[in-house]
Amino acid sequence: MCDALRGTTRGFVAAVLLGVLALGMPRGAAAQRTDVRPLAVRFAESARRSDSLSRLTDSLTAAAESAVPPLKLDEGLVHIRYDTSVSPRVLGLLRDAARLATSHITNIQGDAAPRTVGAAEFIAHERPSPWTGIREFSLRLRSAGGYQTLSATLPGRADRVSEYVERAAADIVTGKLAPAHPAHPSRRLGAIPAARVTEAGWTEIAEWTASSPSSVARRCIGGDARECRRLLLPPGPVPTLDDWYEPADYPGIVKGHDWTKASPERKAIVTRCLAERDAGAQHDAAVSGTARRGA
């Protein structure tokens, strides 16, 4: 179910419950009555009502998500369930995207692909947007509660839909990896990439390496294969400052960022970093600078 529909469902349920409460109270009494109960009692009652509403909304959402559309599109490794709301134009788009995704996923996962994304199903819908009225389609991974839904207005692009399927395929196979440690079963041994790095991607990496203030990058350029591996394969799923930079690099990172629009507090940290060489301030400012630049 797309996020917009989920929001509409919650809004509808809330409106119904509020209407019932309003109908159950005489208009004059509603205007004149003052609740003199302690705040803690009123808060607890509000919390119970909120929990009840959340459970009702969740049950409606689960019922809608468990409903399987009757029609099915099978293209390569990709299986999509849909209903009569989906137009021939969207079906053609989904077929093109499925063929493209199958090629890319097979290129990454090889013989494992039929057992990963090949064993999964996607759900497609097409409907007018509740906000704009423009027709849009949505695609989500079936039986994956909370998984991000792709929503796009028509005519849509096959490569964007293919990227969504490829990311889902990578997440599926990553979830099948053994836990890194018995005490942390949610942590996996690495992550499977959604796609191979393209020629343009390698060019971007090369340019970033050549111009980066990172000591790791400079040692990689100097021929240190271990540092190149550290540069291209950081240990965690989300690279951190310490993966690529060392304390000696921090001032260079901070100097290279435009701080003119920063808050007074952030500017004070920058001053402590550059003028006073405060180690803590250097780290904080470097983290902020790399986050803003996406480096």
pLDDT tens digits, 211-267 = 888 888 888 888 888 888 888 776 665 667 777 788 788 777 777 777 777 778 877
Question: What's the confidence (pLDDT) of residue 258?
Answer: 72
More confident residue, 288 or 124: 124
More confident residue, 177 or 168: 168
Question: What's the confidence (pLDDT) of residue 154?
Answer: 82
Region 74-80: mean pLDDT is 94
CB atoms within 10 A of CB 5: 17
- pTM of the predicted model over 0.85: no
Rounded to the nearest integer, the mean pLDDT of the chain is: 76
Cα–Cα dist 263/276, whole Å: 19
Cα–Cα dist 86/23, whole Å: 40
Q: Residue 30: is its pLDDT beyond 90?
A: no
Share of the chain above pLDDT 70, in %: 69
pLDDT tens digits, 88-115 = 999 999 999 999 999 999 988 888 888 8
Q: Residue 2: is its pLDDT beyond 70?
A: no
Question: What's the confidence (pLDDT) of residue 210?
Answer: 84
Note the Cα 196 to chain centre separation in Å.
20
More confident residue, 33 or 10: 33
